């Protein structure tokens, strides 16, 4: 039986690469993103793909998408919460409050919204995997990236809580923390990004992790070492090392994209973009 897979943020970057890999494997796909034109192009390569133009922050739209998918194909085998946004924020700027809210809502509640429509059916079936794409940025708070780091730390904790809640149910919960990935959001980064992976290689690694039902993984393995070191650094040393890391400048119209220190780099624009 072909796998049935749900992917949010499917239209570009890591989500697109995951979609292409699962398409080649003959999976039945439910693809969720905000950009319908890109979804239609992706779905054209599969005879068993349904597309849903929706924002993961819209719980009603995501629930409707989930119900439609299950009505067509039944309970999914894998649900991948990949959609997310990254933008630099500074508490000193009142105008960043809305950005804080957008990032946390998308990166944390968006994950909850995606899992909820499928959870009861997966529990009843006693099988399936819920996969959350977190980040190495969730290991420590990064200057200029407080909202992003906080959202990814929250995602890591949320996924751990859910994993324990699902213990014994047959439903696996998998947390994946990537380092740097080549996506449209990192394409123009002027910062050095060690151990960066192409989206295709990252997708291959993630699919292997999901197949093996590894509960927690950092990719690539080199970033797992970096993350562990960061976690162990005493505060005084961490503060000294990262005090001058890239951060949002005084011009409030300058935002950050993924890059810089594990997810924070500089670019210009007014709105955060969804990682799709």
- As annotated, the active-site residues are 148
Q: Report d(CA 217, CA 262) in Å as an integer.
A: 16
Chain Cα centroid distance, residue 235: 27
Q: Tokens 């213990």 correspond to what residue?
A: 167
For strands 216-219 and 84-85, give the pairing: unpaired
Chain Cα centroid distance, residue 57: 13
Q: Report d(CA 184, CA 173) in Å as an integer.
A: 28
Q: Report d(CA 60, CA 70) in Å as an integer.
A: 15
CA 50 to each of CA 29, 35, 167: distance values in angstroms, whole numbers, following the listed order: 6, 14, 30
Residue 121's Cβ-side half-sphere holds a number of Cα atoms within 13 Å equal to 18
Q: Report d(CA 78, CA 61) in Å as an integer.
A: 19
Residue 268's φ and ψ, nearest 5 degrees, are -110, 150
3-state secondary structure of 260: strand
DSSP collapsed to 3 states, 160-223: HHHHHHCCCCCCEEEEEEECCEECCCCCCCCCCCCCCEEHHHHHHHHHHHHHCCCCEEEECHHH
């Amino acid at each position: 039986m072909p796998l049935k897979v749900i992917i949010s943020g499917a239209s570009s970057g890591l989500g697109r690469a995951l979609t292409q890999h699962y398409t080649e494997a003959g999976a039945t796909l439910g693809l969720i993103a905000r950009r319908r034109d890109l979804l239609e192009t992706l779905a054209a390569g599969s005879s068993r793909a349904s597309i849903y133009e929706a924002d993961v922050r819209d719980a009603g739209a995501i629930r409707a998408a989930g119900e439609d998918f299950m009505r067509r194909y039944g309970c999914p085998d894998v649900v991948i919460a990949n959609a997310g946004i990254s933008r630099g924020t500074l508490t000193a700027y009142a105008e960043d409050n809305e950005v804080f809210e957008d990032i946390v809502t998308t990166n944390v509640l968006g994950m909850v919204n995606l899992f909820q429509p499928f959870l009861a059916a997966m529990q009843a079936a006693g099988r399936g995997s819920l996969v959350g794409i977190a980040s190495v940025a969730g290991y420590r708070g990064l200057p200029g990236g407080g909202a992003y780091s906080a959202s990814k730390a929250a995602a890591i904790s949320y996924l751990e809580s859910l994993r324990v809640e699902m213990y014994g149910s047959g439903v696996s919960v998998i947390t994946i923390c990537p380092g740097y990935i080549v996506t449209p959001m990192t394409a123009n980064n002027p910062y050095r990004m060690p151990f960066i992976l192409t989206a295709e290689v990252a997708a291959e690694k993630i699919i292997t992790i999901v197949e093996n039902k590894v509960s927690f993984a950092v990719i690539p393995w080199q970033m797992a070492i970096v993350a562990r070191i960061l976690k162990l650094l005493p505060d005084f040393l961490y503060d000294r090392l990262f005090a001058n890391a890239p951060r949002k400048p005084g011009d409030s119209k300058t935002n950050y994209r993924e890059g810089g220190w594990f997810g924070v780099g500089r670019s210009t624009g007014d709105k955060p973009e969804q990682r799709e």
